[in-house]
Amino acid sequence: MHAVLRGIATRTTLPTVAAAVTVPLAFGRLATPLAAVVGLFAVVTAVVFGPAVGILVTHVLAAAVVSELSALDLVWLEVGLAPLLAAPLAGRAHGRDAVIAWLTAIGAGGVVTLVATGTDDLWVIALAVITVGALGVYGVHRVELVVLRLVAEESPGGGR
């Protein structure tokens, strides 16, 4: 029991505490103020089982609580989840890297949203999602190469 409590204490970071406020607020905005209790349950799940499980449970509970999600409702939910998404990065990433990652994620979501609202063709939307996803995966790959120092300090062309 003591080991379980110690594990929970190590997972309780500033982003997790912030999520205890933002996720219930997002659920209260989506459905009713009573749904905020469901959001609090999702945060408790994130603290006990980790942020990845908490994010999954939050999406499942949102689908169960809300009968019909609009695009704005989904944005509210994802903004509420932002602290849970940042929880694994707490104490690991530099501030500049975190800002770049968030701006990139917001930009990628914006591109897909613009494409989705600008056309009714499903294949165009799917192509936009695949393209943005591929660019994201490539970016993560490049960051891993730099972090793991698998790139030479001075490469031809002067950059990394």
pLDDT reading at 1 higher than 80: no
Amino acid at 160: R
Tell me: do 41 and 116 sit in the same domain.
no
Mean pLDDT to the nearest integer, 44-60: 82
Q: Total structural domains in the chain?
A: 2
| Distance from C-alpha of 132 to C-alpha of 55, rounded to nearest angstrom | 21
Where b means 16+ CB within 10 Å and e means fewer, 84-121 reads: bbbbebeeeeeeeeeeebeeeeeebeeebeebeeeeee
Q: Cα–chain-centroid distance for residue 80?
A: 10
Tell me: do 55 and 104 sit in the same domain.
no
Cβ(54)–Cβ(40) below 8 Å: no
Domain range for 104 is: 93-160
In this predicted model, what pLDDT tens digit does every residue of 2-18 receive, in sequence order? 454 455 555 567 777 78
Tell me: do 98 and 112 sit in the same domain.
yes
Q: End-to-end distance of the chain based on CA atoms, in angstroms?
A: 48
Mean pLDDT to the nearest integer, 44-48: 84
Tell me: do 50 and 121 sit in the same domain.
no
| Distance from C-alpha of 158 to C-alpha of 96, rounded to nearest angstrom | 22
Tell me: do 106 and 72 sit in the same domain.
no
Tell me: do 109 and 57 sit in the same domain.
no
The pTM score is 0.54
